[in-house]
Structure 1
Amino acid sequence: MKLSAVVPAYNEESAVGRCIESLLNQTRPFDEIIIVDNASTDSTAAVVSSYAARNPSIRLVSESVPGIYHARRAGFDAATGDVLARTDADSVVSPRWAEAIEAHFAGPRGSEYQALTGPGQFGESPPFDPLRKLESRSKLFEKGGEGLKLIGPNMVMSVNAWRDIRDDLIDDNAIFEDADVSLRLLETGHRIWFSPDVAIEQSPRQLRHSPWENRQYLLGGYRLARLRGDRKLLLLSLLDLPFRFVLYTIWWLTYRPWDPETSTWRPHRLFIRLDREHPLISDSRSA
């Protein structure tokens, strides 16, 4: 079985190296690691090229059209593996990520569940993170089970599943693209398995901004439902919006006052303007 890791990267010169290191530091090496430079204006491509010069499994792919949809497609299309595993350039995968992915697809569940995901908890977290504690105590996180959704930084599927959904995905940077992928997988008969062994660590950098600052992003589910013309999904997305704003409020109140560099609480940070480390494309879109 050949495993391909795919990492879309836009202006990630400060983060992509850490991600690549985690992909190289695997108990079961990836057969290829594809980093997609998505029209970066910084030295992302140079950083990746320096790793590729020392590691023949790494390949740099360029995609000039900005947006995760285009970067994801370019990376998956360039991959030659039987299984495609995507993560984000600011994420860090666990050392057994590739091993756990191979175990799933080589085992009895592999043919029944052609898509796979797992925990994607946030790093740089304070000692008390109420949502992280609740999540980690759930039965799904303890034992695994059938899921309904992939998360973007922890998205794994067989190459056949990708080919089945590739041409029916929505090309729009303002939607929840991982939700779109998940819907198409389920609609084409591909079931999703959640495994606690397939774990990654996400960056909390966007959570340090208030729900109001993230409002255009939070409307991604509503936009997806509207573009798909799915009235049931539209209703569910509208009902889900208040929950998401509450969720992001809790995350903001948890991660914004916490200073990971000094490991101390600094409540005054809630009242200080914070420039985005990485702007959201959805911020330029209207509702």
Structure 2
Amino acid sequence: MALPTLSVIVPAFNEEDTIAATLDHLFAQIDEIDEIVVVNNNSTDRTEDVVRELLESQPKLRLVNESRRGVSFARNAGLDASTSDVIARLDADTLAQPGWALAIRDFFAAAPETVGVATGPLLPFDSPFRKVFANSNDRLIARARAASSDGISVVGLGMAPGGNMVIRRSAWSSVRDAVSDRTDIHDDLDLSLCVRRRDFSIAFILGMKAETSARRFRTNPVSYWRYTNLLTRTYKAHGMAHEARATRLEVWNNRAVHLVTWLPTRAYNPQSQRFSFGRMFTPEQDRITGEIGSASSN
């Protein structure tokens, strides 16, 4: 059975400290990838320079510039620029694990055309609550093994997190004019709802493993609360009033969890696996440089 071609897009805004490690993990499995498209989203740091330094030595690497700032603009520019049968997206602080690309190609070679989008296990490499996230992934994995005859996937998820997702080209073509570029809604949920409305389903692929930064959980409560508001606002934008009301419980639960875990997450040093008061005041740029470097060497 012929395997589909695979593009990987990496939207990046001011990611000079993380983009090289993200790309290195993709280069390690480049035989299974047809092209990597980094979308520089009007960065003001050296993100573009870091990528340009790699272009000559990595012929499958491409750079696209998107001046309109916002993850939906960057994502859409990358999806539009890609050329493969299936198009994966990784955040610029996310490390694809060995076998990631092949798992995607194997799955879509056998999956019915009605499966338009997929995601996979995504764990934070720098969180003291990594085991909690792993347990959540384990429940999905158990569901996949119980519900799927192929033992590698489960179909019927409600949303695919954009940090580790893949979309079939036919599904993207179908929803391209429907997805929103609003910056005040949740882009991952918006895309997932559009896909489902076009009768495509969302799958979970066991081998599509990636690890990412926990920096979202280190943001202050005010910023995190604003972020969680995007879920309810997205359902409202889609005219789904019942779902918007139902999501409020999920939103408040996420906020409560964030309040409990915020300070321990900021105080945690993944290299030493210890907590320290001073760690809470480490600038994010200094923190992420060391942590993604440590995760890359493991």
TM-score between both structures, scaled by the size of structure 2:
0.85
CA distance in 2, matches of 1:82, 1:38: 24
CA contact (8 A) 1:169 1:181 kept: yes
Query: 2:141 corresponds to which letter in structure 1?
Result: L
CA distance in 2, matches of 1:70, 1:136: 29
CA contact (8 A) 2:264 2:275 kept: no
* Aligned match for 2:69, one of 57, 66, 71: 66
Query: 2:139 corresponds to which letter in structure 1?
Result: S
CA distance in 2, matches of 1:274, 1:173: 28
CA distance in 1, matches of 2:50, 2:227: 29
What are structure 1's unaligned runs of at least 5 residues? 279-287
Summarize deviations over 1:72-107 as a string: whole Å, max 9, x none.
111010001011000111111112111000001111
Cα distance, 1:11–1:46 mapped onto 2, change above 3 Å: same
* Aligned match for 2:154, one of 145, 148, 151: 145
Q: What's the counterpart of residue 252 of structure 2?
A: 242
| Per-residue deviation, 1:160 | 0.6
CA contact (8 A) 1:27 1:95 kept: no
Q: How does 1:31-110 map to 2 (within 5 A)?
A: 31-107=34-110, 109-110=111-112
CA contact (8 A) 1:210 1:248 kept: no
CA contact (8 A) 1:6 1:84 kept: yes
CA distance in 1, matches of 2:261, 2:84: 36
CA contact (8 A) 2:123 2:134 kept: no
Q: What's the counterpart of residue 21 of structure 2?
A: 18
| Per-residue deviation, 1:60 | 0.3
Q: What's the counterpart of residue 166 of structure 1?
A: 176
CA distance in 1, matches of 2:90, 2:140: 24
CA distance in 1, matches of 2:117, 2:263: 34
CA contact (8 A) 2:123 2:130 kept: no
Cα RMSD after superposing both structures: 2.1
CA contact (8 A) 1:120 1:151 kept: no
CA distance in 1, matches of 2:140, 2:44: 43
TM-score between both structures, scaled by the size of structure 1:
0.88
| Per-residue deviation, 1:255 | 1.8
- Report percent identity of matched pairs: 31
Give the secondary-structure state (helix, strand or coil) at the position aligned to 1:22. helix
Q: Which has the higher helix share?
A: 2
CA distance in 2, matches of 1:181, 1:246: 27
